[in-house]
């Protein structure tokens, strides 16, 4: 079975910029002490935290872009993500640059807020633009000991710095004065653990037709690794026990076990704390999805605006049902 590799196994387009990484680390270490002092005033979010979960290439990036563009949620922008050790400070800077209420003449005329008029394009989850949403993995990894398989066993859960994780999210909520939304696919296998940390939370699980998702993951392997035989994305806990001989069977198992873990977690939570959305239905009718999210948040005593003012629809990236897609459908049916 293929093995996950580090930066050296990435194609040139996806290799990290080491000079940038070094500069960001230096900047964050300078800000860290001030950030810790500011954090002392926060305890826990007062509004619902929104976490977008699901498998790779399922539409989670589009969902996050849409939530960010709605103006109803705070979120980790590409700018904020560079302040991963001091995200509250990063969020205040983000608001100063993009929030119209802080504008003075035309100082930052060239910097635009992320809105429904912004680009919804992305490249394997990476968005373009200072204000566009970021996956925020560096932030998550400050508090939890994630490996290639990000499942947190009982020992890792007990060792996690959950107190400061919750306080940081309270601070981010405060900076935006809105519910904070971010990707949570790194904890797909620990949703019950995360659920227990918050009084109010909404998990949004994005699902896509498996065969098209499989095809998209295989293409992502080729673009990111240069070889579809090399793993891409988070590994389910079942990974080491699986005996799979083809990349197609690997990605089928990746999708199946991820969905299974999320579904099992949702069965143990109150219905107002989770929502499963088909990518295809979301693309066809975002207003309907907005209504579902509004209803779930209303059950947690938070009111979104009644009227939806966003995109009428999105282009569905699923292509025609080709022979390859039909073959992948068969493979996926064998995994379950």
Percent of the chain predicted with pLDDT > 70: 97
> Could you give all domains of the chain from N- to C-terminal order, each with its CATH number?
13-335 (3.40.50)
Can you say whether the dihedral through the CA atoms of 252, 255, 259, 262 is positive or negative?
positive
Residue range 215-240: mean pLDDT, rounded? 94
pLDDT at 195: 98
Structure tokens belonging to residue 296: 């779930």
Per-residue pLDDT, 3:
41
pLDDT, tens digit (0-9, with 9 covering 90-100), for 20-62: 899 899 999 999 989 999 999 999 999 999 999 999 999 999 9
**Residue range 132-160: mean pLDDT, rounded:** 97
Q: For position 53, what pLDDT does the model report?
A: 98
335 compared with 67, residue with greater pLDDT: 67
Q: Averaged over 106-111, what is the pLDDT?
A: 91
Average pLDDT, the chain: 94
Q: Are strands 181-183 and 49-53 parallel, antiparallel or unpaired?
A: parallel
The Cα–Cα gap between 81 and 301 comes to 29
User: What is the layout of strands, in order, in the sheet containing 181-183?
Assistant: 181-183, 49-53, 201-207, 274-278
Average pLDDT of the segment spanning 183-195: 98
4 or 47, greater pLDDT: 47
Rounded Cα gap, residues 146 and 156, in angstroms: 9
pTM: 0.93
d(CA 325, CA 208): 13
């Amino acid at each position: 079975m293929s093995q996950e590799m580090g930066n050296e196994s990435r194609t040139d387009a996806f290799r990290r910029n080491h000079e940038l990484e070094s500069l960001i680390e230096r900047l964050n270490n300078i800000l860290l002490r001030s950030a810790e002092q500011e954090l002392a005033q926060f305890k826990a979010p007062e509004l619902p935290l929104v976490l977008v979960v699901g498998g790779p290439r399922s539409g989670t990036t589009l969902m996050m872009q849409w939530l960010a563009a709605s103006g109803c949620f705070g979120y980790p922008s590409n700018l904020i993500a560079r302040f991963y050790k001091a995200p509250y400070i990063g969020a205040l800077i983000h608001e100063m640059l993009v929030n119209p209420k802080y504008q003075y003449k035309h100082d930052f005329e060239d910097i635009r807020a992320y809105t429904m008029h912004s680009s919804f394009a992305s490249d394997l989850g990476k968005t373009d633009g200072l204000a566009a949403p970021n996956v925020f993995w560096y932030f998550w990894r400050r508090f939890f000991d994630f490996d290639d398989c990000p499942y947190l066993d009982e020992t890792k859960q007990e060792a996690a710095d959950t107190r400061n994780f919750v306080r940081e999210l309270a601070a981010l909520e405060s900076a935006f004065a809105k519910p904070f939304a971010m990707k949570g696919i790194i904890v797909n296998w620990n949703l019950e653990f995360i659920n227990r940390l918050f009084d109010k939370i909404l998990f949004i699980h994005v699902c896509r037709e498996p065969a098209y998702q499989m095809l998209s993951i295989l293409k992502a392997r080729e673009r990111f690794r240069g070889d579809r035989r090399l793993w891409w994305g988070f590994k389910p806990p079942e990974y080491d026990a699986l005996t799979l001989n083809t990349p197609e069977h690997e990605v089928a198992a990746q999708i199946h076990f991820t969905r299974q873990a999320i579904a099992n977690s949702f069965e143990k939570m109150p219905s107002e704390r989770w929502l499963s959305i088909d990518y295809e239905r979301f693309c066809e009718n975002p207003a309907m999805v907005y209504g579902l999210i509004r209803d779930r948040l209303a059950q947690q005593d938070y009111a979104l605006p009644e009227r939806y003012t966003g995109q009428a629809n999105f282009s569905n990236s699923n292509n025609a049902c080709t022979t390859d897609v039909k073959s992948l459908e068969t493979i996926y049916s064998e995994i379950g």
